[in-house]
Structure 1
């Protein structure tokens, strides 16, 4: 025997209340949406000043110390020589993991962070950025007119401002005393002249007197990069701060 399912009893008041709640919620979302989704690219999220984005370069500040290339865990930095024999970094973005160890380790702030994170490349080869290209801010076609910021006070909500955020970061350069490589332990020198051959600015010269090799540093040329100090097998050279024009 088949029993028929009884139709639910209609409650007009409850049904009207449910419809009114639905209409009010739709109206509220239409006027002031409660979503936490950002409508990119028409909206752009506000990023911190030290966001690890596309790396920019200021050639005049670079002392060719190679620290960026040595510290890079992904081997993404390649040093390029210019016509004067100075070396400057380029970044392979096919390898770069955006850790910004290079930016943090740069003693003169020649490498700079930016908030640019949506750069497109036409092929893998074009992802290798030379020092000259790093000096230029990438051309960006922006569609955003609203900057969005998350507010975590209580319920998560978005704060929208009709403003366009600057993607390049301006900050004060760190104060760094001038250093030079001075032969403080000359008696340890074995005459290998690795320091002279490795110097990117040709600031170290050697003189041979009988069977003894003497090193001389041109402090006007020396940039304090520390390459000679790191490569010296007997710790002859030391980075020494220049105070009042004297070493």
Structure 2
């Protein structure tokens, strides 16, 4: 036997109290909003100083050392050759985890951090940003009129300020000595020429004198990338600091 559920008894007083509470809450929110919702894109959250966003690239500072590609834990960075035979990095943002290991390891600050994070790609293929595309800062259309910051002192509150936060990070570049590759223990050279074949700027030449191989570095071409020093199996080559134009 199926029993019917009884309809709740209507109470005018209970209904009036419920409506009054709802109107009271709406009035409070209209006068003093207590929400923690940011009205993006008209408002933008204030980002931390060391926020890790899209990676920017300065081609003039790159020495093609491949360190960014070697250190990337997600294998998201590839090196692309240009017309002059130099190699520059490109980032596959379908793989990139924005750890910024590449930025931290770059010896010349050619890779720079930014606070740009709201980038839209039309498909997975377009998420591969080549070295040529890396040279240009992404165009950002901004509609924000205020910067919003969370306040966690006691209750969670939002502090809104009429500020315009720059999304590109400015920093002072450290003065670093120039480095060139030079043989430290030439007697250990086994003549494998791995340094010569791996040099991205063709700065290392070898001469065969009888059974002995002699290495020579063109200091005008050498960028101090250190690939030759890392690949040498007998540690013949080292990076030597150069100051004042003297090797």
Q: TM-score range by the shorter chain?
A: 0.7 to 0.9
Please state how far the C-alpha of 1:32 moved relative to its aligned partner.
2.5
Aligned partners of 1:177 and 1:153: how far apart in 2?
A: 46
Residue 47 (1) aligns with residue 47 (2): yes
- Tell me the CA shift for residue 93 of structure 1: 0.9
Hey, what does 1:246 align to over in structure 2?
246
| 2:185 is the counterpart of 1:185 | yes
Q: Which residue in the other structure is 1:34 paired with?
A: 34
1:170-202 deviation per Cα after TM superposition (whole angstroms, max 9, x unaligned):
111122211111101111100111101111111
Cα distance in 1 between the residues matched to 2:105 and 2:32: 45
Match of 1:155, SS state, is coil
Aligned to 2:104, what secondary structure does the other structure show?
Answer: helix
Q: What is residue 66 of structure 1 aligned with on the other side? A: 66
- Alpha-carbon distance between aligned partners in 2 of 1:142 and 1:245, rounded to the nearest angstrom: 46
Instruction: State whether structure 2 residue 78 is matched by structure 1 residue 78.
Output: yes
Unaligned runs of 5+ in 2: 1-10
CA distance in 2, matches of 1:172, 1:242: 21
Q: Distance in 2 between matches of 1:51 and 1:190?
A: 47
Partner of 1:63, secondary structure, is coil
Query: Structure 2: how far apart are the matches of 1:92 and 1:175?
Result: 31
Give the aligned partner of residue 119 of structure 1.
119
| TM-fit CA distance, 1:206 | 0.9
The residue aligned with 2:208 is 208
Structure 2: how far apart are the matches of 1:132 and 1:74? 21
Q: Write the deviation string for residues 108-153 of structure 1: whole angstroms up to 9, x where unpaired.
A: 1111111111111111111110112111121222222111011222
Two-structure CA RMSD over aligned residues (Å): 2.3
Question: Within 2, Cα distance between the matches of 1:120 and 1:244?
Answer: 46
Q: TM-score, normalised by structure 2?
A: 0.88
Question: 1:81 Cα shift?
Answer: 0.3
Deviations along 1:24-79, one digit per CA (max 9) or x if unpaired, are: 65433212211122122221101123211111111000000000000111111111
Q: 2:235 aligns to what? A: 235
SS at match of 1:104: helix
Can you give the 5+ residue segments of structure 1 that lack an aligned partner in the other structure?
1-7
